Structures are given as structure tokens and as C-alpha cells.
């Protein structure tokens, strides 16, 4: 276990106690020597942790202490690296560059032992299946989602039938081969899913849609859940 991981575990352990706990108990639960525990407590106190107590009396973490920025456990760090690598290999160019940049920034401010763990991370992303190419800039759709603006699209469905839609985009799903835009369609007056590789053209509008994106997302999740349950029930009958 790295030292940064051990310090993080010690803080989390102290937070679980409402009353002073002996150094011996802390050391036993962490699987370290009492001497190492005393040294770790001194390090945390130097970093600003308000740990009260002393050897032979017990220790208690006073409320209000925030962990230093970017203190991750080893598994949290592995999850971050794995996610960033997936994004870098499975999304559009701008998102891939953003993922690589974010990982570099995180690495630059990590403690040395965690930085070494990041460099030696052995969780890999397998090769992607051939991805359908988008005809429009997916970054434009992401901006419309963030800002809550309406978008006009020219769309071609799986049967080759074209249509023009005025939509309220509020989510974007990433899959290995395709990306799916989730939106409220004014023409259908219902939620619709649009594969981004079938959007032939798009025009972001200045007009914002009248409902909050979070509410649309919550309502869509309920609708999708009901439909999934209906299909599951029908399969049983």
C-alpha cells in the first residue's frame, strides 16, 4: 500500500469514530506498526488535519477537515485512468484531447507515489470496433446541451427517410460504434433518440428551450424505465 493511500485510509478511519480512539486500535485496523501510525498522524497534522490527542490517550479528528485536493485512493485513480483512456479512444477528437489534457493535469499535482502508480497503471482499453463517422460536429451538440439551446437538424432514419426536426437536446450517449443524442422533439411532442451519424446537418439556435435540462433528463429516465418494465412484463406473458 502506498503512503498516500495509507494516509487517506487513516483519515477515513478517524472520521468513523465519534470519540477518541487509541493508537493501538488504529494501527491494528490499518495493519501497520504503532510507530508508523504516530508518524502518519504527525504528517496529517502538518498538512492541516485537526487531529487531537496523544499517545496513550487516544486520537480524534475534529469536524471540518477537508482532504487535500486530488488525494485519491489507488482504486479511484485506476478508475480515473481507465475512464480517461476509454474517452480518449472512443469519443470525438475534442473530447479525446480534453481527456488526455485532464489526465496530464491530474498527474502534475499528484503526490509522487500516486504519480508513479498512475504511470504504471496496467488497466488497458481493448481495441474499438469500427465506429460510424459523424457528419456533424458533435462538440456543437455538447455545447447546445450545456447551454440548453434548441437545435434544428436534418435527420435520416434507418429506412433512409429524411426529415427536419426542431429538438431540445439534453443528453448524449456514447457507445462503441455510435453516439445517440437524446432530445425532446417538437414535431413528435415526445422524447426521441437520434444517432449522430444519421444527422446530416444541424443549426444551433439562439432560443433556449423552456424547461431545465435536469428535469427533462429525470422525466426521460422515468419514461425509459416504464417502457423497459412493459417490455420485460410482456416477455413473461
Tens of pLDDT along 34-72? 999 999 999 888 877 888 887 778 899 887 655 554 567
- Note whether 103 and 182 are same-domain residues: no
Q: Is 160 within a domain?
A: yes
Q: Which CATH number does the domain housing residue 219 bear?
A: 2.30.30.520
Are 196 and 150 members of one domain?
yes
Kindly indicate the confidence band of residue 138, based on its pLDDT and cuts at 50, 70 and 90.
very high
Specify whether the CB–CB gap between 199 and 137 falls below 8 A. Answer: no
Nearest to 122 by CA among 177, 78, 181: 78
Count of domains in the chain?
3
Task: Based on the fold, state whether residues 145 and 210 are members of the same structural domain.
Answer: yes
* Phi, psi values for residue 207, rounded to 5°: -75, 130
Same domain, 218 and 167: yes
Domain residues for 103? 74-119
Label residue 136 by pLDDT band (50, 70, 90): very high
Give residue-wise pLDDT tens across range 174-233: 888 889 999 999 999 999 999 999 999 999 999 999 999 999 999 999 988 765 444 343
| pLDDT of 82 higher than 50 | yes
- Same-domain status, 35 and 80: no
Helix ranges restricted to H, the chain? 3-15, 23-30, 34-46, 74-90, 93-109, 112-119, 138-147, 213-236
My answer on whether 103 and 168 are in the same domain is no
Both 154 and 216 in a single domain? yes
Residue-averaged pLDDT of the chain: 85
In a domain, 125, yes or no: no
Domain termination site, one of 61, 85, 100: 61
Amino acid at each position: 500500500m502506498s503512503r498516500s493511500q495509507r494516509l487517506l485510509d487513516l483519515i477515513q478511519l478517524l472520521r468513523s469514530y465519534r470519540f477518541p480512539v487509541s493508537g493501538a486500535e488504529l494501527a491494528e485496523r490499518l495493519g501497520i506498526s504503532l510507530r508508523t501510525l504516530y508518524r502518519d498522524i504527525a504528517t496529517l497534522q502538518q498538512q492541516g488535519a485537526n487531529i487531537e490527542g496523544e499517545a496513550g490517550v487516544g486520537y480524534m479528528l475534529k469536524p471540518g477537515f477537508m482532504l487535500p485536493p486530488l488525494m485519491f485512493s489507488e482504486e479511484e485513480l485506476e478508475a480515473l485512468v481507465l475512464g480517461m483512456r476509454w474517452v480518449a479512444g472512443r469519443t470525438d477528437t475534442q473530447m479525446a484531447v480534453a481527456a488526455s489534457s485532464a489526465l496530464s493535469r491530474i498527474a502534475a499535482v499528484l503526490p509522487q507515489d500516486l504519480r508513479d502508480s498512475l504511470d504504471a497503471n496496467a488497466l488497458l482499453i481493448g481495441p474499438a470496433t469500427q465506429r460510424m463517422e459523424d457528419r456533424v460536429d458533435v462538440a456543437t451538440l455538447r455545447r447546445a446541451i450545456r447551454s440548453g439551446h434548441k437545435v434544428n437538424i436534418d435527420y435520416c432514419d434507418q429506412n433512409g427517410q429524411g426529415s427536419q426536426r426542431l429538438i431540445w437536446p439534453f443528453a448524449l450517449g456514447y457507445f462503441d460504434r455510435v453516439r445517440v443524442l437524446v432530445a425532446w422533439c417538437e414535431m413528435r411532442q415526445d422524447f426521441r433518440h437520434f444517432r449522430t451519424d444519421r444527422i446530416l446537418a444541424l443549426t444551433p439556435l439562439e432560443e433556449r428551450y423552456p424547461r431545465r435540462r435536469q428535469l427533462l433528463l429525470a422525466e426521460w429516465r422515468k419514461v425509459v424505465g416504464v417502457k423497459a418494465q412493459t417490455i420485460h412484463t410482456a416477455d413473461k406473458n
